[in-house]
Amino acid sequence: MTAPRPIASPCVKVCRISPETQVCEGCGRRLKEIAGWARMTAEERDAIMADLPRRLAEGAAAPA
């Protein structure tokens, strides 16, 4: 039996939520994503993490 994969997190310990976008300015995740991170599947987390560079490059300007 293999051990479960540890939950990867993009958190960089710079937790500032933009009041306009509800997105963390440190990691780029939305509040709902941060709150549900541990309950998501690895595939869901991977998909979000793949999108974070784009979000951060765009300044996370678009609300979800």
- pLDDT tens string 6-60: 888 999 999 999 888 888 999 999 999 999 999 999 999 999 999 999 888 887 5
pLDDT given at position 8: 87
pLDDT given at position 42: 92
pLDDT given at position 13: 92
Residue with tokens 């309950």: 39
List the chain domain ranges: 12-59
Residue 64 has pLDDT above 90, yes or no: no
What is this structure's pTM? 0.78
Q: What 3-state class would DSSP assign to 23?
A: strand
User: For 59, phi and psi rounded to 5 degrees?
Assistant: 75, 15
Instruction: Indicate the Cα dihedral angle 28, 48, 53, 8, nearest 10°.
Output: 80
